[in-house]
Amino acid sequence: MKKESSMIIDHMGLSVSDAQKSQAFYAAALAPLRIGKIMEYDGWSGFGRDGSPEFWFGEGGPAQSPMHIAFRAENRQQVRDFYDAALAAGGKDNGAPGLREEYHP
Protein backbone atom coordinates (compact mmCIF):
# COMPACT_ATOMS: atom_id res chain seq x y z
CA MET A 1 0.00 0.00 0.00
CA LYS A 2 1.32 3.42 -0.94
CA LYS A 3 2.01 5.86 1.88
CA GLU A 4 -0.13 8.97 1.85
CA SER A 5 1.72 12.20 1.13
CA SER A 6 1.44 15.28 3.30
CA MET A 7 1.78 17.48 0.21
CA ILE A 8 -1.26 19.51 -0.72
CA ILE A 9 -0.25 19.61 -4.39
CA ASP A 10 -0.41 16.30 -6.26
CA HIS A 11 2.22 17.31 -8.80
CA MET A 12 3.62 20.36 -10.55
CA GLY A 13 5.26 21.06 -13.88
CA LEU A 14 7.33 23.88 -15.21
CA SER A 15 8.66 24.84 -18.60
CA VAL A 16 12.41 25.00 -19.08
CA SER A 17 14.52 26.24 -21.96
CA ASP A 18 16.89 23.22 -21.96
CA ALA A 19 15.44 19.90 -20.77
CA GLN A 20 18.76 18.01 -20.86
CA LYS A 21 20.58 20.65 -18.84
CA SER A 22 17.67 20.84 -16.37
CA GLN A 23 17.56 17.07 -16.01
CA ALA A 24 21.27 16.94 -15.14
CA PHE A 25 20.89 19.83 -12.68
CA TYR A 26 17.85 18.45 -10.85
CA ALA A 27 19.27 14.90 -10.74
CA ALA A 28 22.36 16.22 -8.94
CA ALA A 29 20.63 18.81 -6.76
CA LEU A 30 17.76 16.61 -5.59
CA ALA A 31 19.82 13.48 -4.88
CA PRO A 32 20.58 14.50 -1.25
CA LEU A 33 16.80 14.69 -0.67
CA ARG A 34 16.37 11.15 -2.04
CA ILE A 35 14.42 12.59 -4.98
CA GLY A 36 15.24 11.12 -8.37
CA LYS A 37 13.97 10.78 -11.90
CA ILE A 38 11.12 8.30 -12.00
CA MET A 39 9.86 8.56 -15.54
CA GLU A 40 9.69 10.45 -18.81
CA TYR A 41 6.51 11.14 -20.71
CA ASP A 42 6.08 13.07 -23.94
CA GLY A 43 9.33 15.02 -23.51
CA TRP A 44 8.78 15.72 -19.81
CA SER A 45 10.81 14.32 -16.88
CA GLY A 46 9.05 13.37 -13.66
CA PHE A 47 11.03 13.42 -10.41
CA GLY A 48 9.93 12.21 -6.99
CA ARG A 49 10.45 9.38 -4.55
CA ASP A 50 8.75 6.10 -3.75
CA GLY A 51 7.57 5.75 -7.35
CA SER A 52 5.50 8.94 -7.32
CA PRO A 53 6.56 11.61 -9.87
CA GLU A 54 5.45 14.90 -8.31
CA PHE A 55 7.88 17.40 -9.86
CA TRP A 56 7.82 17.62 -13.67
CA PHE A 57 9.65 19.76 -16.19
CA GLY A 58 10.01 19.84 -19.95
CA GLU A 59 10.68 22.14 -22.85
CA GLY A 60 7.77 24.20 -24.04
CA GLY A 61 6.73 27.80 -24.05
CA PRO A 62 8.95 30.41 -22.49
CA ALA A 63 10.70 29.41 -19.29
CA GLN A 64 9.24 31.36 -16.40
CA SER A 65 11.56 33.15 -14.05
CA PRO A 66 11.92 33.72 -11.20
CA MET A 67 10.21 30.78 -9.56
CA HIS A 68 10.35 29.65 -5.94
CA ILE A 69 10.09 25.94 -5.23
CA ALA A 70 10.73 24.41 -1.81
CA PHE A 71 11.35 20.68 -1.47
CA ARG A 72 10.83 18.88 1.84
CA ALA A 73 13.93 17.71 3.68
CA GLU A 74 14.09 15.26 6.56
CA ASN A 75 16.66 17.24 8.54
CA ARG A 76 18.96 20.28 8.42
CA GLN A 77 21.92 18.27 7.12
CA GLN A 78 19.84 17.25 4.10
CA VAL A 79 19.08 20.92 3.49
CA ARG A 80 22.80 21.77 3.55
CA ASP A 81 23.63 18.81 1.29
CA PHE A 82 20.92 19.86 -1.19
CA TYR A 83 22.22 23.45 -1.16
CA ASP A 84 25.79 22.32 -1.80
CA ALA A 85 24.74 19.89 -4.55
CA ALA A 86 22.59 22.53 -6.27
CA LEU A 87 25.44 25.06 -6.30
CA ALA A 88 27.89 22.41 -7.55
CA ALA A 89 25.44 21.56 -10.35
CA GLY A 90 25.30 25.20 -11.50
CA GLY A 91 22.53 26.65 -9.34
CA LYS A 92 22.62 30.24 -8.12
CA ASP A 93 22.63 31.21 -4.46
CA ASN A 94 19.65 33.24 -3.28
CA GLY A 95 20.40 32.81 0.40
CA ALA A 96 22.22 30.32 2.57
CA PRO A 97 20.30 27.46 4.21
CA GLY A 98 18.51 28.44 7.38
CA LEU A 99 15.16 28.74 9.06
CA ARG A 100 12.67 31.08 7.40
CA GLU A 101 10.41 31.68 10.38
CA GLU A 102 8.83 34.76 8.80
CA TYR A 103 6.90 32.53 6.38
CA HIS A 104 7.54 28.91 7.42
CA PRO A 105 7.49 28.45 11.20
Domain count, the chain: 1
- Of 29-38, 79-88, 90-99, give the lowest mean pLDDT range: 90-99
What's the domain range around 83? Answer: 12-88
Distance CA 44, CA 71 (A): 19
Residue 24 DSSP SS3:
helix
The angle at the Cα of 102, spanning 10 to 90, to the nearest 5 degrees, equals 60
Q: What is the pTM of this model?
A: 0.75
Strand ranges of the sheet holding 52-59, from the earlier edge strand across to the other edge = 12-16, 52-59, 44-49, 36-41
Give per-residue pLDDT as tens, 31-80: 999 999 999 998 899 999 989 899 999 987 666 667 778 888 889 999 99
What CATH number is attached to the domain comprising 40?
3.10.180.10
Assigned domain for 23 exists: yes
C-alpha–C-alpha distance, residues 41 and 27, integer Å: 17
